[in-house]
Amino acid sequence: MEVKMDLVSEDKINSMGSMEKLRFVLDGVKSGNIVVLEGGLTSEEQMKLIELTMTEVNEDFPGIEMNGYPTKRGFLNLRRKTRLTVIGPANTMRTIKKENDLISAIISAI
């Protein structure tokens, strides 16, 4: 069985509103896709995504596996720059190693 990956550009993500962005990600993941966001989600968006996910967990959808690189401080340490975020269905994706600049995950079809 194949697993689909959506590699989403930062431009596309930035063109969406906050809720639109989360809905886009969760719909993709619930369809069984691995969603990779260039530029990533902020911590606040990730927390909202967890909250939204919990409202939709059921017997067929146990939730998400999410990983990303920590944010970097931007100009004059004022702006936090988000980096890549990877989100997939919890029953398909499993993180095996995560470091500051490396994420290793196993993706297995159900």
Q: How far is the CB of 50 from other proteins (least distance, A)?
A: 6
Q: CB under 8 Å, gap of 24 or more: what pairs does 52-56 form? A: 52/22, 52/23, 52/26, 53/26, 56/26, 56/30
Choose the binding region for other proteins from 8-16, 18-26, 31-39, 65-73 (rule: CB under 8 A).
Answer: 65-73
Helix orientation angle between 43-56 and 18-30, rounded to the nearest 10 degrees:
50
Candidates 3, 91, 105, 107: give the one binding other proteins (CB under 8 A): 91
71 touches other proteins by CB under 8 A: yes
Pick from 26, 40, 66, 92: which binds other proteins (CB under 8 A)? 66
Residue with tokens 């998400």: 64
Say which amino acid occupies 51.
Answer: E
Shortest spacing between CB 61 and other proteins, in angstroms: 9
Site for other proteins in 37-56 (CB under 8 A): 42-44, 46-47, 50-51, 53-55
Among 108, 104, 87, 101, residue whose Cα is nearest residue 24: 87
Going across the sheet that includes 34-37, the strands are 5-8, 34-37, 85-89
Name the residues that contact other proteins, by CB under 8 A: 42-44, 46-47, 50-51, 53-55, 57, 59, 62-68, 70-71, 80, 90-91, 95, 98-99
